[in-house]
Amino acid sequence: MNQNFYHFIQEHLPANIACHWEDSSIENLQVNRTIRRWCMRVGVSRPIPAQVVDSTASQLLSSIPSLNHLEILTRLKDPEKSIKKILDSRKDELSSSLFNKDKLFDQIPIKILSHGVDFCPRQEEHYQYIIDNEVCNKFAGWFWQEYRLRVLVRALPAYDINEQRDIPLFIERQDVELLNIPDDTAKKNRSFRKGKMGTEDEELLHSQIIAISELQEGLKTAIIEGEIWDKSVSVLKDGRQVFSYFVTDYIDTIVVKQFADSDEQGLEIDEWVKFKGSVRFDTYVREPVLFMESYLTVPKPLRQDNSQEKRIELHAHTKMSSMDGLTEVESLIKRAAEWGHSAIAITDHGCVQAFPLAHNYAKKYKIKVIYGVEAYMVESDRKERPYH
């Protein structure tokens, strides 16, 4: 897209606000006509303070009457240079707010990449400190609070995590005693192992969820909700299965992984599910993944018409409209009735084949059907020109 954002806002904003947006451009614009919402991603050559971003969005919203919502997301055109400049200029502030230990911020190497920031601790205690104190999440939150920037922050250990200095190379030989475990106890242990990761949890029903777009690596506990639109299965060497669910809330998508025994089927595609788990970087898919601890299948939220004054659709197509409509007659009439509409018009292309079904379903759902058609007319002359 790349439209000049500075020229766009000059006619809507005062000069003291517009001047912050020089050399900026609109890279992407998402428009939701139903709720009259714009989500605008603006590329900037330098970080814009959050107060300026919020003030710009607020004043633009008030100057464009046709909008109800406006969100501005900034993206740095040269993120490595800009983020480094931020860290250098506000180093002391970040050190005191994120790291309680003296000079720990200076001891942890930081890599600044095009997609975000990586902490690369060389010592295990430093890595554990970052995880325990949720430094990645707080660091990303600081960038959003100060500059309205979405920055991916990760903790990637720079030491050998497989090194085991304190583990002896052998175990002293001892007599082994076999215990007789009752059958019922063994069954309980097997069922516990089977449900250890990915059990159904009724407590999730009223739990507060996090938007998938807001997830950050390092979160110990995160609860999301969405629809499974795809899944894959792989088998480990010990016979266990790894289910990878691709989950979307229709704003963003994340992979959710579940470890299960070989006889489990996993969740199904098209199910709407609440997931609880931790967010960690997965080296296999090379992105943050939610590792499932528990889940709950819930009804998919349906779109509602909450207007006090209900409308009447005067132009609706069913699957009888060739190359145009895909909706079943019953689904169309049922949805209009559920939304509290008093009537609905069916206007298929050049046919009235939906009328008998519409008549029956109108009685079933107690709604009036307006019978119409998009007709094709032909002039009675030599050219026989058609009109639609």
Which residue, of 21, 47, 76, is where some domain finishes? 76
Same domain, 230 and 280: yes
Structure tokens at 55: 């003030």
What is this structure's pTM? 0.43
How far out from the chain centre does Cα 18 lie?
31
| In a domain? residue 175 | no
CATH number at residue 120: 3.30.70
Same domain, 203 and 288: yes
25-32: strand order across its sheet: 3-4, 25-32, 37-44, 69-76
| In a domain? residue 27 | yes
Q: Which residues contact 305 (CB under 8 A, 6 or more apart)?
A: 311, 339, 340, 341
Instruction: Give the chain's end-to-end CA distance (angstroms, integer).
Output: 35
The pLDDT of residue 189: 44
In 3D space, the residue among 163, 90, 162, 151 whose CA is nearest the CA of residue 118 turns out to be: 151
Helix (H) or strand (E) holding 299: none
| In a domain? residue 373 | yes
Which residue, of 92, 127, 155, is where some domain finishes? 155
Same domain, 287 and 257: yes
Instruction: Show pLDDT as tens, one digit a residue, over the chain (388 residues).
Output: 578 888 888 878 888 888 888 888 888 888 888 888 888 888 898 888 889 988 888 888 888 888 888 888 888 888 888 888 888 888 888 877 777 665 677 788 888 887 788 888 888 888 888 888 888 888 888 888 888 888 888 888 876 655 544 444 444 555 555 555 555 544 444 433 343 445 666 677 778 888 988 888 888 888 999 999 898 888 887 788 888 999 998 888 999 998 887 777 888 888 999 999 889 888 888 889 999 888 888 888 878 888 889 999 999 999 998 878 888 999 999 999 999 999 999 999 989 999 999 999 999 999 999 999 998 887 777 666 766 6
| In a domain? residue 304 | no
- Count of domains forming the chain: 4
Distances (CA, A) of 174 to 167, 177, 178, 179, 180: 18, 9, 13, 15, 19
- C-alpha span between 370 and 7 (Å, rounded): 48
Same domain, 122 and 29: no
- C-alpha span between 198 and 153 (Å, rounded): 27
Same domain, 72 and 93: no
Cα Rg of the chain, angstroms: 29
Same domain, 207 and 129: no
- C-alpha span between 327 and 319 (Å, rounded): 5
Q: Are 204 and 189 in contact (CB under 8 A)?
A: no
Same domain, 105 and 145: yes
Question: For the residues of 87-126, what is the DSSP string, one character each?
Answer: HHHTHHHHHHHH--STTHHHHS-EEE-SSEEEE--SSHHH
Same domain, 93 and 72: no
CATH number at residue 252: 2.40.50.140
Same domain, 41 and 85: no
Same domain, 251 and 207: yes
Is 194 in a helix, a strand, or coil? Answer: helix
- C-alpha span between 273 and 297 (Å, rounded): 4
Range of the domain at 72: 3-76
Distances (CA, A) of 182 to 176, 185, 187: 19, 5, 9
| In a domain? residue 48 | yes
Which residue, of 76, 100, 134, is where some domain finishes? 76
Is 268 in a helix, a strand, or coil? Answer: coil
Same domain, 262 and 289: yes
| In a domain? residue 168 | no
- C-alpha span between 352 and 181 (Å, rounded): 73
Q: Are 279 and 217 in contact (CB under 8 A)?
A: yes
Same domain, 67 and 135: no
| In a domain? residue 256 | yes
| In a domain? residue 49 | yes
Structure tokens at 346: 């069916």
